[in-house]
């Protein structure tokens, strides 16, 4: 009997619903074929529920997740009827902060040189993993406004950086490099201008690197890092930075691999429940048209299965996605004519063929 792995499935809004339905179907088939012990529990957390009940998720949702689940498989939130994203703050930021999922992990790997917008760059050049601190910095909502609504209005957001918060993400990036055979960790900050938070990141980075003598430690100011990711992406291996810079650099990373529809991410706190989500949002411009690229959701499922320690299933998904790209079984964002369903059916069949040997 396989170990039980309990997963909350939260499609959310817009294309989140479309791509997570396909990812869920893939997980069900893989579970049937490989006896992974997956138990998928569907959650209707999102805009519809928020508009009907005034809450995006049940009040005890975080306790329930913490006590009874191993992972969350999440789609996207975003609905024109809730312009201030109140439900997004409650559900997604609620889970990231409430479950203390302090590491946001975003792999950036080109799967096909034809998809990379950079001239003469391919899978060997663009292959990095970005570790974004996920619970501090400007996202903690510490601040306020003064003389709001007047010509003298002032708005202040404070960037919060704790030694504990910085050290655990920096150490995690080095640990990851060591475990996966990567050679270099680049820390990116703006310590030349942002004195106190930047200074803390610098000190912690210099301390932690001493514990990893086999891993090269590198530093770039974030403005230079953005330039270098485009000019010479091959110089990056593992990247670690604060919440805001990680948010921006990882979207740049998504552009380097060819589409947001290929970018996967995990929000983790080692030893606890993890939350896995495609990087993209609810894409209202294409929602309901059946053309959303499901590959980010598949690669997200692969990250989740790796986290749940079923590596062969994760490998099979990645191989099947790679095959579909090589055979041009892709949606319009990657220049193809496939639909969400046709691409998903292709990947699902390929994946099952791979695991059947």
Ligand X SMILES: NC(=O)c1ccc[n+]([C@@H]2O[C@H](COP(=O)([O-])OP(=O)(O)OC[C@H]3O[C@@H](n4cnc5c(N)ncnc54)[C@H](O)[C@@H]3O)[C@@H](O)[C@H]2O)c1
> Would you name the residues annotated as active-site residues?
139, 190, 223, 247, 251
- Euclidean distance between CA atoms 15 and 19, whole angstroms: 6
What are the DSSP calls for 188-201, one per residue? EE-TTTSHHHHHHH
CB-wise, 191 or 282, nearer to ligand X? 282
User: Is residue 299 within the footprint of ligand X (CB under 6 A)?
Assistant: no
Identify any residues that bridge with 41 across adjacent strands, giving them in sequence order.
8
User: Is residue 76 within the footprint of ligand X (CB under 6 A)?
Assistant: yes
Alpha-helical regions (H) of the chain: 15-34, 47-53, 61-68, 86-88, 94-98, 163-180, 195-209, 222-231, 243-256, 295-307, 311-326, 340-356
CB-wise, 7 or 295, nearer to ligand X? 295
User: Is residue 107 within the footprint of ligand X (CB under 6 A)?
Assistant: no
Site for ligand X in 13-42 (CB under 6 A): 15, 19
CB of 183 to ligand X, least distance (A): 31
CB of 149 to ligand X, least distance (A): 25
Decide the pairing of beta strands 103-109 and 127-133.
antiparallel
Task: From 150, 139, 127, select the one nearest 101 (Cα to Cα).
Answer: 139
Interface stretch with ligand X, choices 71-79, 128-136, 179-187, 201-209 (CB under 6 A): 71-79
User: Is residue 84 within the footprint of ligand X (CB under 6 A)?
Assistant: no
Order of strands across the sheet that contains 216-221: 38-42, 5-12, 71-76, 274-278, 264-268, 103-109, 127-133, 238-241, 184-189, 216-221
85, 118, 345, 355: which one binds ligand X (CB under 6 A): 85
Whether residue 211 contacts residue 174, with contact meaning beta carbons closer than 8 Å, is answered with yes
User: Is residue 260 within the footprint of ligand X (CB under 6 A)?
Assistant: yes
User: Is residue 244 within the footprint of ligand X (CB under 6 A)?
Assistant: no
- Euclidean distance between CA atoms 274 and 264, whole angstroms: 14
CB of 308 to ligand X, least distance (A): 21
Residues in the chain: 357
User: Is residue 325 within the footprint of ligand X (CB under 6 A)?
Assistant: no
User: Is residue 132 within the footprint of ligand X (CB under 6 A)?
Assistant: no
User: Is residue 249 within the footprint of ligand X (CB under 6 A)?
Assistant: no
Whether residue 23 contacts residue 73, with contact meaning beta carbons closer than 8 Å, is answered with yes
7, 296, 320, 351: which one binds ligand X (CB under 6 A): 296
CB-wise, 98 or 281, nearer to ligand X? 281
- Using a 10 angstrom Cβ sphere, with 0-12 exposed, 13-18 middle and 19 or more buried, the burial of residue 136 is buried
CB of 285 to ligand X, least distance (A): 5
Whether residue 218 contacts residue 189, with contact meaning beta carbons closer than 8 Å, is answered with no
DSSP state for residue 334 in the 8-state scheme: G
Interface stretch with ligand X, choices 3-11, 48-56, 282-290, 310-318 (CB under 6 A): 282-290
CB of 294 to ligand X, least distance (A): 7
Residue 131, classed as helix, strand or coil, is strand
User: Is residue 293 within the footprint of ligand X (CB under 6 A)?
Assistant: yes
User: Is residue 248 within the footprint of ligand X (CB under 6 A)?
Assistant: no
37, 98, 122, 281: which one binds ligand X (CB under 6 A): 281
52, 120, 124, 285: which one binds ligand X (CB under 6 A): 285
Provide the binding-site residues for ligand X, judged by CB under 6 A.
15, 19, 76-78, 85, 92, 260-261, 277, 280-286, 292-293, 296, 331, 333
């Amino acid at each position: 009997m396989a170990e039980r792995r309990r997963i909350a499935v939260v499609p959310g809004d817009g294309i989140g619903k479309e791509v997570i339905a396909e990812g869920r179907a893939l997980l069900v088939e893989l579970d049937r074929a490989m006896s992974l012990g997956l138990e998928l529990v569907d959650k209707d957390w999102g805009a519809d529920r928020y508009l009907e009940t005034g809450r995006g998720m049940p009040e005890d949702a975080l306790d329930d997740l913490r006590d009874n689940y191993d992972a969350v498989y999440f789609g996207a939130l975003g609905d024109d009827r809730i312009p201030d994203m109140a439900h997004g703050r409650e559900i997604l930021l609620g889970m990231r902060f409430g479950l203390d999922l302090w590491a946001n992990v975003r792999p950036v790997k080109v799967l096909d040189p034809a998809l990379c917008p950079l001239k003469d760059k391919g899978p060997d050049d663009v292959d990095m993993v970005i570790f974004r601190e996920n619970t501090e910095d400007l996202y903690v909502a510490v601040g306020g406004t003064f003389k709001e609504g007047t010509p003298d209005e002032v708005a202040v957001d404070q960037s919060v950086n704790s030694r504990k918060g910085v050290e655990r993400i920096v150490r995690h990036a080095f640990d990851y490099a060591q475990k996966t055979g990567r050679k270099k960790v680049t820390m990116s900050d703006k310590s030349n201008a942002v004195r106190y938070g930047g200074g803390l990141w610098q000190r912690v980075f210099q301390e932690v690197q001493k514990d990893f003598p086999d891993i090269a430690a590198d530093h770039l100011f974030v403005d230079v890092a953005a330039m270098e990711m485009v000019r010479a992406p091959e110089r990056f291996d593992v990247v670690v930075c604060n919440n805001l810079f990680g948010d921006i650099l990882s979207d740049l990373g998504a552009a380097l691999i060819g589409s947001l529809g290929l970018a996967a991410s995990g929000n983790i706190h080692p030893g606890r429940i993890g939350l896995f989500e495609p990087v993209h949002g609810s894409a209202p411009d294409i929602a309901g048209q059946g053309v959303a690229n499901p590959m980010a959701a598949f690669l997200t499922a692969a990250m989740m299965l790796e986290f749940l320690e079923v590596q062969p299933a994760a490998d099979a998904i990645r191989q099947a996605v790679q095959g579909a790209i090589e055979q041009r079984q892709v949606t319009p964002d990657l220049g193809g004519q496939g639909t969400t369903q046709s691409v998903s059916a292709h990947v699902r069949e390929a994946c099952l063929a791979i695991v059947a040997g």
